[in-house]
Chain A
């Protein structure tokens, strides 16, 4: 007769921290019920299981359909840190899928998430900002974030948070500001971005420059950029080590120099030389932005005079690989050689 002793080793599939996932279509409804249970351990295990399942977009769709979002919203206000961290992680994973984003917008999850902006747990905040970033990638998502009035608090947070989260915040802001920048301009985003441009972290600098691009699209933004003397810093950044930073700085300059004041501010800080050197960069974005910025500067008579001697450089660019760069170079040549 065989031993009645059970093996010393646990079965290989069981993860004690996860709830058991029911088979097939019962998985998500059961997890939803478990999420609403009173027992802390059940909730946590259900959340862990949900995290794993949410990588599949079909499951995301089913989850939203069975109303998991409502229970998740309730769980966001839970006292236990672990629960909150896991909930935000689940929401972040859902936000990476378009279905999830749409669901967020329908169920007002953004507003519920915003209550966690001041959470003491940094992991929780990080997941929160990751979720926001992914939501902001969708234009209607960005619009949703703007509509819920989160921009001032996000801008304010830019000062306080640690570096990783600052990077995420900058991404979110860049996406949102391309939609609507008026609120942000009213909440001193330009001085904050100016500080971030001088940060030591390469990533932060490049993201801050990208956000500045978005900020300086509307006219009010351009005026503020000129008023706060950001243009000299941007010119300085054109000589930065990191190419991405250079490209983004050129882009920001491109927008800021549309106004006459911006043009003359840039000319005063000798922006033409670094921009010319950027024309030889390997990143096509950098070449493109530099060409456009030089076109802007060539509108001014002083700039035109200086650039007339440099027209051959632009001719070379007309044979560039990228279609956009070619077009930009042609336009630049046309502007430089224009006679009133």
Chain B
């Protein structure tokens, strides 16, 4: 449907004429006959308006139109009032008409249409003498669709089921019921059993786990006990072994100690003895005397002896010279008086023998301490000589006595010194 408002043709002129074009179509009637159905299931059949009955179309003469309300009175208001009154009347009429039976409404999809069914169509042209305005009624509720009861077709047939002809409900229902109930119960029993089985399994698992734990603990305890006992045994054994070892070691030590003690028992005296023998124990004073004093003494003695020796040798030499001179003199005198000096000869020989005797004496005296006395005696025995000899003798004896004194002194000291160590050997 194309409706265009064309003003192209006249827009140049400034004014336009209204034109309206549309393809020819059947216009739908805009008038709503019923209130909107709340649950509009199917689309209502579109009511097309009949142009013949369209109010908008002017029919008949246009030169005798009712132009409007007569001037003078406020007609629009009156007209409106009239209209309202008319509306009310119409509404009443309509309400009354509702109870009146009418032709049935058109079937779905169909519509009642006035149609001229004669052979020749007649133009229905009503000349409108009176213009009547009318106003649509207020919306009414859509009346409920009446039940469609189709026309009865076919033959009526009736059957009558007499008592006991069909089936016995109680008998027939039993197996079915049994099956139904049985299946239900069986299913539920299965489910319950399954749950119970699961619960039992879990309980037995639990119990098993308990037992397992306990047994495992027992095993571990026994193993631990075994280990401890073994360790304890090992420890005890080791202890014992150590004890035995210590015991033996101690015994050995004791034995060694005893032996060593005994071995060394007379070590000490022997050591001391040997040391004493070695002269390691000495009285320092004695030692000092021995080392320091006695050598000096001996030296001095030696010196003194030497002096005396020297003196004696000098004396001897003197005597010898004298004697030789005398001898020579005597020999000279001998030539003259031969018997003058036998004493002198004796004396000389005595004198000559004296020194060696003195020597001997000295030697003897040095050698044997007890000899000087007999030596002296011998001296005293032999010289029955004269005075010269006696004086010489006296000198000699004096010297000798001195020497003897010294010697005895020396002897004493040395003798004592020698005596001491030799005390043991000389009984």
Q: Are A254 and B217 in contact (CB under 8 A)?
A: yes
Render A119-145 as a binary contact track against B, CB cut-off 8 A, 1 for contact.
000000000000000000100000000
Q: In the complex, A300→B150 CA distance in Å? A: 105
Instruction: Identify B213's interface contact among A289, A296, A331, CB under 8 A.
Output: A289
Render B183-206 as a binary contact track against A, CB cut-off 8 A, 1 for contact.
000000000000000000000011
Counting CB contacts under 8 A, is A299 at the interface?
yes
Q: Are A258 and B150 in contact (CB under 8 A)?
A: no
Shortest CB-to-CB span from B39 to chain A, Å, is 11
Q: In the complex, A299→B217 CA distance in Å? A: 13
Contacts of A292 in B (CB 8 A): 214, 217-218, 221
A1-B150, A5-B41 known; A258-B211 Cβ under 8 A: no
Contacts of B329 in A (CB 8 A): none
Q: Are B220 and A255 in contact (CB under 8 A)?
A: yes
Q: Are B150 and A255 in contact (CB under 8 A)?
A: no
Q: Are A295 and B150 in contact (CB under 8 A)?
A: no
Q: How many B residues are at the interface, by size bracket?
A: 10 to 19
Q: In the complex, A259→B228 CA distance in Å? A: 10
Q: Are B150 and A217 in contact (CB under 8 A)?
A: no
Render A235-248 as a binary contact track against B, CB cut-off 8 A, 1 for contact.
00000000000000
Q: Are A258 and B214 in contact (CB under 8 A)?
A: no
Shortest CB-to-CB span from B312 to chain A, Å, is 110
Contacts of A5 in B (CB 8 A): 41
Shortest CB-to-CB span from A250 to chain B, Å, is 10
A255-B220, A331-B218 known; A213-B225 Cβ under 8 A: no
Q: In the complex, A292→B221 CA distance in Å? A: 9
Q: Are B221 and A296 in contact (CB under 8 A)?
A: yes
Counting CB contacts under 8 A, is B173 at the interface?
no
Q: In the complex, A279→B221 CA distance in Å? A: 19
A1-B150, A260-B228 known; A288-B221 Cβ under 8 A: no
Render A276-292 as a binary contact track against B, CB cut-off 8 A, 1 for contact.
00000000110011001
A5-B41, A260-B228 known; A288-B220 Cβ under 8 A: no
Q: Are B214 and A299 in contact (CB under 8 A)?
A: no
User: Which partner residue on chain A sits nearest B198 by CB separation?
Assistant: A96
Q: How many A residues are at the interface, by size bracket?
A: 20 to 34
Q: Are A255 and B224 in contact (CB under 8 A)?
A: no
Instruction: Identify A288's interface contact among B150, B214, B216, B225, CB under 8 A.
Output: B214
Counting CB contacts under 8 A, is A75 at the interface?
no
Interface residues of A in 318-333 (CB under 8 A from B): 324, 328, 331
Q: Are A299 and B211 in contact (CB under 8 A)?
A: no
Instruction: Identify A255's interface contact among B206, B217, B225, B228, CB under 8 A.
Output: B217
Counting CB contacts under 8 A, is A103 at the interface?
no
Shortest CB-to-CB span from B207 to chain A, Å, is 8
Counting CB contacts under 8 A, is A251 at the interface?
yes
Q: Are A324 and B224 in contact (CB under 8 A)?
A: no
Q: In the complex, A295→B221 CA distance in Å? A: 9
A1-B150, A258-B221, A299-B221 known; A217-B214 Cβ under 8 A: no
Q: Are B220 and A299 in contact (CB under 8 A)?
A: no
Q: In the complex, A324→B216 CA distance in Å? A: 13
Counting CB contacts under 8 A, is B210 at the interface?
yes
User: Which partner residue on chain A sits nearest B220 by CB separation?
Assistant: A258
Q: Are B210 and A299 in contact (CB under 8 A)?
A: no
Contacts of A299 in B (CB 8 A): 221, 224-225, 228
Q: Are A258 and B217 in contact (CB under 8 A)?
A: yes
Shortest CB-to-CB span from B205 to chain A, Å, is 8
Known: A288-B214, A292-B217, A292-B218. 20 other contacts (CB 8 A): A137-B205, A251-B213, A254-B217, A255-B213, A255-B216, A255-B217, A258-B220, A258-B221, A259-B224, A260-B228, A284-B210, A285-B210, A289-B210, A296-B221, A299-B221, A299-B228, A324-B210, A324-B211, A324-B214, A328-B214
| Sample (14) of A-B pairs whose CB atoms are under 8 Å apart | A217-B216, A254-B213, A254-B214, A255-B216, A258-B217, A260-B224, A284-B210, A285-B210, A289-B213, A289-B214, A292-B217, A299-B221, A299-B228, A328-B218
